[in-house]
Structures are given as structure tokens and as C-alpha cells.
Amino acid sequence: MCPARITDTKEAEASFWKKADQHLMSTGVPFSPAIITRARGTKLYDIHDRQILDFTSGQMSSLLGHSHPEIVAVVKHYVENLDHLLSNMITQPVVDLAERLGRLLPPPLEKSFFLNTGSETTEAAIKMAKCYTGNFEVVAFSASYHGLTSGSGSATYSAGRKNGGPAMPGQLAFPAPYGYRSPFRKSDGTYDWETEMDFGWSMIDRQSVGSLAAFIMEPILSTGGILEPPPGYIKRMVAECKKRNMLVIMDEAQTGVGRTGQMFAFQHDDIVPDILALSKTLGCGLPLASVSTTVEIERGCKEASFLWLTTHLNDPLPAAIGNKVLEIVERDNVSKMAVERGDQLRAGLIKLQEKYWCIGEVRGRGLLQGIEIISDAKSRAPGPELGANVSEVALDIGLSCNIVNLPGMGGVFRLAPPVTVSAEEIDDALRILDTAFGQVLQDYNGKTTSYEVESNPL
């Protein structure tokens, strides 16, 4: 880059941040230092034309990568021909998407409607459960994240609960299946999730006023730290809900549409929820979300005068995008790709864990993987500051990976690249992480040398 170009870029960057600081309101999420000017496939390009591997799929959404040519073609066609209508005007793209989704979902899930965001879907699903059951109590995991609107935010316990006034009545928290840190242990030290679940339900039953409506859950808790429940957990959880005549709402904002190795992550546990909420991955980064349920629940909601109306309810343009996404996922066997590349990514992360003492645990499924950072190998104390430093160094040398820092948790990296990621790009990302951990731990050594384990080459 010539000196004049460097000067121009620096001036543009300074002007950008000056305007951002002056006019953009903070919403509690710190801005990334990278100014991204374009994105294609798994790669981002910043104002300096520096290439960055995107291992969060945007906001965990760009399932097929950025600017997928088939998605771009659909957007162009519908922007020119059929973008937005009165919400009660149903179009062919909407019917096509509902039909395709109904074919892919296991029975009795066959009725759907379409919104824009994950918060909208969980808000609508919670209201549906209340209308159908006539009850109002909603249970969610203590590490849950279902959005930040009124009902969805009340069912979110991982973040965003402070200083917003009272939550919706009837919100109850259930211990999250956090095996790495759970105090429930068997005599051999392994995670005793059965006893923990018994304890959780005993607390719910004591707190309930007799109006349990639904349990809303993610099959893998993502923002909560990539918490994958142990085998048998979800199946028993569903059975406990049925005992209490509660509906099961499955929020698959980040796990749905092939990312975890099956079309829907709940299929891994051989269960079918009463209500399914999809978002993020369904629109491949564009604003599309869905709520799916059974004929019986739709009937009950109608009888209870359920109303859900938004400006972009069942819009044709995003529906056409979702239909194309599902077509590509099914046609290209994306679930298989997620398994293959996910196995490669996990194997590389395990090697990093063997090399660096500060990686306490690797967990996840398919192309939704997490690594928990600790600050002390003996006590396993959380290491959010260390994790944030690794994330910053990784971004500097070409990898965007999300670090979740929530109270009571360690810093947990979420790694969720597009399913179109290549084997070479995963190797590149692992090399960048290796370099980032090495650089950060050099500075951190004074505090932790006595706890370091023997290093193995990656």
C-alpha cells in the first residue's frame, strides 16, 4: 500500500470513529475495533483490506457464508419484484417456505409463521404456550439466552436482567447443565446430572403457584457458554415437562438448519418439541425467523384469541431467502459437512487444550464449538481477561472469534464458522489461535508458571 493510500485510510478511519462516537448510542455491547467494508464466504475485509476469517458467521447467522451467490440472486429478484406487502397478504414464497419446513420437520410439527428475529420468535412462542395452556409460568435455564424483549428477556438469565424493572410474572430458573462447573458430582467425580435435575424440579415444584405453562430451552446453550447437555438429559427433561402438562419450546436460533450435524439439533436427542423457534441460520444472516407448532396447539391458540401481528409478518422477500437456504442445506447435505468440518475443528481444539493449560474444556457439536478459558489450572478459576486478550490478538492476526464473558462463567470462545468453511480455513484458524494463545501466555507467565503443563506441538 503506497504512503498516500495509508494516509488516506488512516484519515478515513479517524473520521469513521469520530462520527460513530458522536452519533451512535451504546447499547451495552462494545464496538469491535475492526471496520469491515466487505464480506464474502468465510472471509471479512477491513478498511485496510486486511483479510479476517469469520468464525462466528456474523452474529452466528451466516450459515452458508457471506454473499452466497444463490442467496444474492434470490435477494435481487425479490427486491425487484416482490419485497413487502400488507401482513395478511400471503404470497407463494411464504407458502413454499412453510411447505418445505413442514416436510423437513418431524410430525406433528407442521404449522409455521415467519418473523424477523429470534427475540420475536421466542416472545411469540411464550405467548402461544400461555394461550394454549391457560397458564403463565415459564421455566428457563439459569444460563439461558432467548432475547431481550419483554417476555424473551424475562426468560433470559445469562445477561441483561439488571435495571430494567420487574420481569414478567411467573419466571422460574432451572440449573443449567454446566457439567464443567456443576457442584453435583458422583463419588468418582463425574457430573451427576440426574441428581441435579431432581433438585432443579424440586425447586420448580416448590416455587410454582400451580400455573406451569412451558419450559423454553436451547438444545445446546450457546450464549450461556456452549453447554451441551449430556446424553439422556433432554429426553428426560421433556418427560418431566409432560408430567406437569407443560409445553416444550425449543429455541434453535443458533443450532438449527444443519449446523450441529442434523437439520435440527433436537433430533439428536430423539424428541419433538411442542413449539420450535428458528432464526439466525434460517435467513443465512438476513432477517428471517420462524415459529412452528402442531395443528392441536394452533387450534387451542385460535380458541384463546391468540394475536401476533408485526410489520414484517410473513414477508415474501425473506421467506424466499429461507426457502433457498433450506433447499441448499438439503441439496448439498450441509449436515454432513458440519460433522466433517466440526470433527476437524474439535480435534484441533483438543490439541490446543493439550498444549495450553488455560484451556479448561472443549465442548460443542458439529460446527458449534466452545473452549472455556481458565486462569488457574488447579482451581479452574474463570479466565475472562485472559480469554479477551487471546480474542484481541487473534483478531489482530486475522481471526474473528467470539468470547462470552458472563458473571459466574469463564471466558468461553464460541467458534461457529459457516458450514461452507474449507479444511484449509479451519487449519488456518487453528494456527492463528495457536499463535494468539502463545503470545498472550508469554505475557501471562509470571502469574501462572507453576501451573503450566507440559507443552505438545500442535
Residues 311 and 365 in one domain: no
Residues 243 and 384 in one domain: no
User: Which of these three, 297, 312, 331, is where a domain ends?
Assistant: 331
Over the stretch 89-130, which tens digit does the pLDDT of each residue have?
Answer: 999 999 999 999 999 999 999 999 999 999 999 999 999 999
Residues 283 and 396 in one domain: no
Question: What is the share, in percent, of the chain residues with pLDDT greater than 70?
Answer: 94
Residue 190 lies in a domain: yes
The domain spanning residue 92 has which CATH number?
3.40.640.10
Residues 208 and 249 in one domain: yes
Give the pLDDT confidence score for residue 28 in this predicted structure.
84
Q: Which residues contact 401 (CB under 8 A, 6 or more apart)?
A: 55, 56, 391, 394, 395, 413, 414, 415, 429, 433
pLDDT at 454 over 70: no
pLDDT band at 299 (very low <50, low <70, confident <90, very high): very high
Are residues 171 and 155 in contact, defined by beta-carbon separation less than 8 angstroms? yes
Lowest mean pLDDT among 85-99, 156-170, 193-207, 220-234: 156-170
Residues 327 and 257 in one domain: yes
Residues 294 and 213 in one domain: yes
Residues 151 and 203 in one domain: yes
Count CB atoms within 10 A of the CB of residue 49: 11
- DSSP category for residue 138: E
- Active site residues per annotation: 145
pLDDT at 36 over 60: yes
Question: What is the share, in percent, of the chain residues with pLDDT greater than 90?
Answer: 86
Residues 300 and 415 in one domain: no
Q: Which residues contact 202 (CB under 8 A, 6 or more apart)?
A: none
C-alpha–C-alpha distance, residues 401 and 413, integer Å? 7
The domain spanning residue 52 has which CATH number?
3.90.1150.10
What the block records as the C-alpha cell of 100 is 418445505
Over the stretch 363-400, which tens digit does the pLDDT of each residue have?
Answer: 999 999 999 999 999 999 989 889 999 999 999 999 99
Residues 349 and 431 in one domain: yes
C-alpha–C-alpha distance, residues 312 and 319, integer Å? 11
Residue 232 lies in a domain: yes
User: Which of these three, 282, 313, 331, is where a domain ends?
Assistant: 331
Residue 394 lies in a domain: yes
Residue 38 lies in a domain: yes
Over the stretch 132-178, which tens digit does the pLDDT of each residue have?
Answer: 999 999 999 999 999 999 999 999 999 888 888 899 999 999 999 99
pLDDT at 451 over 50: no
Q: Is 260 exposed, middle or buried (0-12, 13-18, 19+ CB in 10 A)?
A: buried
pLDDT band at 1 (very low <50, low <70, confident <90, very high): low
Give the pLDDT confidence score for residue 30 in this predicted structure.
85
Q: For the residues 299-310, what does the mean pLDDT come to?
A: 97
Give the pLDDT confidence score for residue 452 in this predicted structure.
39
Residue 457 lies in a domain: no
Q: For the residues 280-300, what does the mean pLDDT come to?
A: 97
Over the stretch 259-271, which tens digit does the pLDDT of each residue have?
Answer: 999 999 999 999 9
Give the pLDDT confidence score for residue 165 in this predicted structure.
86
Residue 456 lies in a domain: no
User: Which of these three, 331, 356, 389, is where a domain ends?
Assistant: 331
Helix (H) or strand (E) holding 294: strand 289-294
Give the pLDDT confidence score for residue 410 in this predicted structure.
58
Q: Is 13 exposed, middle or buried (0-12, 13-18, 19+ CB in 10 A)?
A: middle
C-alpha–C-alpha distance, residues 187 and 316, integer Å? 57
Print the domain residue range for 11: 3-61+334-451
pLDDT at 457 over 80: no
Residues 387 and 313 in one domain: no
What value does the mean pLDDT of the chain take?
93
Residues 246 and 342 in one domain: no
Residue 458 lies in a domain: no
Residue 134 lies in a domain: yes
Among left, alpha and beta (phi > 0; psi -120 to 50; other), residue 282 is alpha
pLDDT at 455 over 70: no
Residues 163 and 186 in one domain: yes
pLDDT at 81 over 90: yes
Are residues 83 and 311 in contact, defined by beta-carbon separation less than 8 angstroms? no
Tally of domains within the chain: 2
